[in-house]
Structure 1
Amino acid sequence: MKTKHYNVFVIGSGIAGKTVAETCAKNKLTVGITDNREYGGTCANRGCDPKKVMLQFSALLEQSKRLNNLGVSKLPEINWKQVQNFKTEFTQKVPVSTEEHLKKLNIDLYHQSPVFISENKIIVEGITITANYFVIATGQIPRTLNIKGKKYLETSDAILDLEKVPKSASFIGAGYIGMEFATMLAVLGCNVTVFEYADSALLNFDSFLVEKLIAKMEKLGVAFIFNAEVAAIEKRTKNIRIKYTINGSKKRHKSRHVFNTGGRVPSISTLKLENANVDFDERGIIVNDFLQSKTNKKVYACGDVSNLSLPLTPLSGLQGSIVSENIINGNKKEFQFPLVPSTVFTQPNLSTVGLSEAEAKNRYKKVLIFKGDAQEWFNAKKGNEDTYAYKILANERTGEIVGAHILGHEANENINLLTVAINNKMTVSEFKRMIFTYPSYSNDLKYMLANK
């Protein structure tokens, strides 16, 4: 069997793995990289980027419906085939451009999931490869739902490639992906149902705002079935039948498509990490502060597959940079969780950064809570919006803003301003003294901090 040695071998070509590979190559290290799917990773090929391209069309239609007969006399027609073609303009060039970029850096490319056979040896494409360091950056994959008939479940990949908007669709799981695509399809005319085992959606977000988002999505045509335990999936002639129970009561539901949106897990099952003495748990590969495996010093892990990460692209890029530096210069740079804002791109957006109300109350003796509805404010009324709310938290002793949660049309942008504020330890009074454009959603933040 052919053998080859590298200074660094990277497994995974998303933002984390690509960052490591190109940085190490630019520093004159010999580098190999492999991916069992198209190069470029989840976000650019089948995740956040194409999703955002598609969501904007349902957002346009939803906004047009709100302004119908208020200046919009005819609703736009969404040509789904053209939407898919436009989306493909972004995705089809990613693998080719990624490979061309890596090849120019003299990085060897492989196209297979490798298998570890020892602590510093893998087999990929029939070649035995050794390396001074292996970097695992394989990201996450959809969680397998262990229910009868699970083979009939589709993932979000299938939504991105739908040939037409279906008459009906069901989602099992009310997390980010399920809530975003449920909103999109409902606005586009699909009969949507969301099944969730818990008693609410988006459990990591503020419940005050989540309840309002659920109410809004119901107005848009999304039906929610909470406390549902899905028992089986059955293929019928045209539809998929879902068998589920609520409080022991057996029920049935049918739709044309059923999507598994029950979360994602680290993509490590095929690597045979036990052969490499690499410990892992349900969160991913267990690493130290240098993002190095605690049990095998020849292995680093970065991005979503690390147990010290969150499934967010900017964080993956940061971790890739840290791993690169530690390989090149020795372990000198530790990873520390930055303040990371997050958004669910529903209609409207739900965004969060910093501490939750419970976390703030646990950390500080007294917490200022600025909370309320803003649907009667100018920016909401000019867009005929019926859902706009917020909760912003501050340490009463210092006045510093410590957490922010916004449900609104521009929440995904406004949360960035509050991220800057929290990072710079701004107080409520300092933030309110800032001058923003008017009338803007950004300026609304100052009014939010005047309402307790």
Structure 2
Amino acid sequence: MQTVDVIVIGTGSAGVSAAEAAREAGKSVAIIDKQPFGGTCSQRGCDPKKVLVGVAEISARSSWMTGKGIDKQPKISWADLMAFKRTFTEPIPDRTVEKFKDEGLKQFHGVATFILADTIRVNDKEIKGKQIVIASGNKPMTLGIPGEELLIDSTGFLDLDELPDEIVLVGGGYIAFEFANVAMRAGAKVTIINDTPRPLGGFDPDLVDLLVKTMEDAGITILVNAAVSGISGKPGKLTVEYKQDGKTQSVKAGLAVHAAGRAPDIDELALDVAGVTVGKKGVVVNDYMQSVSNPAVYACGDVAEKGLPLTPMASYEGKIVGTNLVEGNTTKYEQQPVPTTVYAIPPMASVGLTEAKAKEQGKKVKVIFKDAVSWYTSKRINEPAAGSKILIDSKTDEIVGAHLLGEGSDEVINIFAVAMAHKITASDLTKTIYAYPTRSSDISYMLKE
């Protein structure tokens, strides 16, 4: 049996941040992953997804400008796109292994399982750690429907060698909306099946409605109040059954994609052996990102029941854990504005409270909604939808929520995040001089009552 100061399970942003902090302080560190080293975001998540979205955006903007200076619509070559994407993803595991070697991290590739409260088994090896960090990320949640094994997950979609002619996306979250736009622009017929009245729960409903209409107008079918009840057939020839308005209906597809949410990847860890309490969203931790039931265990990233499952939050939480491993519990998790984006076409971004949440909390806010499709920045690219909804505290003039739809929303939302984090008022934002004409220069108009 080997003994180290710190064991880290997971090699994504959260795990690496914690492991490197501990190693830099002179601690011996073992790092474990059952997946190729380097984490989800860089290999199977946000980074490769954005490569695909980038090409789809070029296709979309060309279609918007057809007859307005563009004569021919570009055709996406899926094979070439996949080859380009792999130039980003394929080098990561080997590069990560070399990086860990240079840093002096002891590497173990395999499934980690607790056999004692302070001991992990990986393959045929046992490792004892004074402190253990769980940063194993998440995985597609179990849907409990017949034929579920016929679904592919987001990892599979991002590595398809060929794109089928007809695709069904089960679920109506950000993954479904992002993949739907990519697949449709690449030539597939796409159907989203969502079991709630409105997809993209948690985002502003008025902007969601604008986005849904835009995607439907572009040729994507979006079914709501439709619960998938089963999948049958074989890969390439599938039938997806769903119930809507009390009737069982079906749609044919060459491919069905699981886009109905993710859950903490903890099933193989045997956390009960370690006495680690788990909640609905993951490992239950205190403000120091420490397990509430086993003080030797910390958790960070998507597997921890704390912040949003986003890469920047994983890095943030991993750094907190790293500091607390080295210094003792000196650094707490602090609530802060966290911007998030749905990379649909056009993109939709959000930070802070929605209008509904503000009402729930009893906040008195000014709500300024703007349909911006006729504004210069949208009209010059013939964008089919754009808008904003800004929530301003009636007493302090501080922004408590910002919700954007349209090209550039994924960048402009960061300005609102900075304003909220540093209590810059709406009046100050309005007075700021911006480069013009840019999406950021529209902020003054977004805030105008």
- Of the three residues 371, 392, 403, the one matched with 2:401 is 403
| Counterpart-to-counterpart distance in 1, 2:370 and 2:402 | 12
| Counterpart-to-counterpart distance in 2, 1:90 and 1:27 | 31
* 1:235 equivalent in structure 2: 233
| Counterpart-to-counterpart distance in 2, 1:359 and 1:282 | 21
| Counterpart-to-counterpart distance in 2, 1:58 and 1:358 | 32
1:323-382 deviations in whole A, cap 9, x for unaligned? 111111111111112210000000001000011112223445531111020111111111
| Closer, same or farther: CA 269–314 of 1 in aligned 2, 3 Å | same
Segments of 5+ residues of structure 2 without an aligned counterpart are: none
| Counterpart-to-counterpart distance in 2, 1:281 and 1:334 | 20
Contact 1:187 1:221 in 2 (8 A): no
| Counterpart-to-counterpart distance in 2, 1:370 and 1:145 | 39
Contact 2:348 2:406 in 1 (8 A): yes
1:73 maps onto 2:71 in alignment: yes
- Residue-pair matches, total: 449
Using the TM superposition, give the Cα deviation of residue 237 of structure 1 relative to its aligned residue in structure 2, in angstroms. Answer: 7.8
Give 3-state SS (helix, strand or coil) of 2:273's partner: helix
| Counterpart-to-counterpart distance in 2, 1:267 and 1:116 | 14
1:161 maps onto 2:169 in alignment: no
Segments of 5+ residues of structure 1 without an aligned counterpart are: none
Give 3-state SS (helix, strand or coil) of 2:285's partner: coil
Using the TM superposition, give the Cα deviation of residue 238 of structure 1 relative to its aligned residue in structure 2, in angstroms. Answer: 4.2
| Counterpart-to-counterpart distance in 2, 1:140 and 1:404 | 28
Contact 2:76 2:185 in 1 (8 A): no
* 2:131 equivalent in structure 1: 133
Using the TM superposition, give the Cα deviation of residue 123 of structure 1 relative to its aligned residue in structure 2, in angstroms. Answer: 1.0
Contact 1:364 1:395 in 2 (8 A): no
1:214-242 deviations in whole A, cap 9, x for unaligned? 00110111101111121110015841001
* 1:34 equivalent in structure 2: 32
**Structure 1 vs Structure 2 CA RMSD:** 1.1
1:321 maps onto 2:314 in alignment: no
| Counterpart-to-counterpart distance in 1, 2:122 and 2:247 | 50
* 2:213 equivalent in structure 1: 215
| Counterpart-to-counterpart distance in 2, 1:148 and 1:164 | 26
| Counterpart-to-counterpart distance in 2, 1:237 and 1:437 | 51
* Deviates further, 328-337 or 43-52: 328-337
Contact 1:229 1:244 in 2 (8 A): yes
| Superposed counterparts of 1:12-23, under 5 Å | 12-23=10-21
Q: Give the % identical residues.
A: 37
- Of the three residues 278, 283, 286, the one matched with 2:284 is 286
| Superposed counterparts of 1:295-334, under 5 Å | 295-334=293-332
* 1:94 equivalent in structure 2: 92
| Counterpart-to-counterpart distance in 1, 2:211 and 2:368 | 19
| Counterpart-to-counterpart distance in 2, 1:428 and 1:129 | 54
| Closer, same or farther: CA 238–422 of 1 in aligned 2, 3 Å | closer
TM-score using structure 1 length: 0.97
| Counterpart-to-counterpart distance in 2, 1:210 and 1:349 | 11
* 1:389 equivalent in structure 2: 387
| Closer, same or farther: CA 204–237 of 1 in aligned 2, 3 Å | closer
| Counterpart-to-counterpart distance in 2, 1:415 and 1:179 | 19
Give 3-state SS (helix, strand or coil) of 1:131's partner: strand
Contact 2:390 2:447 in 1 (8 A): yes
* Deviates further, 353-362 or 221-230: 353-362
Using the TM superposition, give the Cα deviation of residue 248 of structure 1 relative to its aligned residue in structure 2, in angstroms. Answer: 2.1
Using the TM superposition, give the Cα deviation of residue 94 of structure 1 relative to its aligned residue in structure 2, in angstroms. Answer: 0.9
Give 3-state SS (helix, strand or coil) of 1:20's partner: helix
Contact 1:121 1:129 in 2 (8 A): yes
Contact 1:230 1:245 in 2 (8 A): yes
| Counterpart-to-counterpart distance in 1, 2:91 and 2:212 | 37
| Counterpart-to-counterpart distance in 2, 1:111 and 1:187 | 38
Give 3-state SS (helix, strand or coil) of 2:168's partner: strand
- Of the three residues 41, 49, 53, the one matched with 2:51 is 53
* 2:190 equivalent in structure 1: 192
- Of the three residues 414, 417, 427, the one matched with 1:419 is 417
| Counterpart-to-counterpart distance in 2, 1:117 and 1:180 | 40
* Deviates further, 289-298 or 73-82: 73-82
Amino acid at match of 2:332: E
TM-score using structure 2 length: 0.98
Contact 1:17 1:302 in 2 (8 A): yes
- Of the three residues 150, 157, 168, the one matched with 1:152 is 150
Contact 1:173 1:194 in 2 (8 A): yes
| Counterpart-to-counterpart distance in 2, 1:337 and 1:198 | 29
Amino acid at match of 1:305: V
| Closer, same or farther: CA 365–271 of 1 in aligned 2, 3 Å | closer
Contact 2:288 2:333 in 1 (8 A): yes
- Of the three residues 262, 266, 276, the one matched with 1:268 is 266
- Of the three residues 348, 358, 373, the one matched with 1:350 is 348
Give 3-state SS (helix, strand or coil) of 1:444's partner: helix
* 1:372 equivalent in structure 2: 370
- Of the three residues 23, 48, 62, the one matched with 2:60 is 62
Give 3-state SS (helix, strand or coil) of 1:274's partner: coil
Using the TM superposition, give the Cα deviation of residue 81 of structure 1 relative to its aligned residue in structure 2, in angstroms. Answer: 1.4
| Closer, same or farther: CA 116–53 of 1 in aligned 2, 3 Å | same
Amino acid at match of 1:190: A
| Counterpart-to-counterpart distance in 2, 1:10 and 1:339 | 28
Using the TM superposition, give the Cα deviation of residue 47 of structure 1 relative to its aligned residue in structure 2, in angstroms. Answer: 0.2
| Counterpart-to-counterpart distance in 1, 2:236 and 2:135 | 39
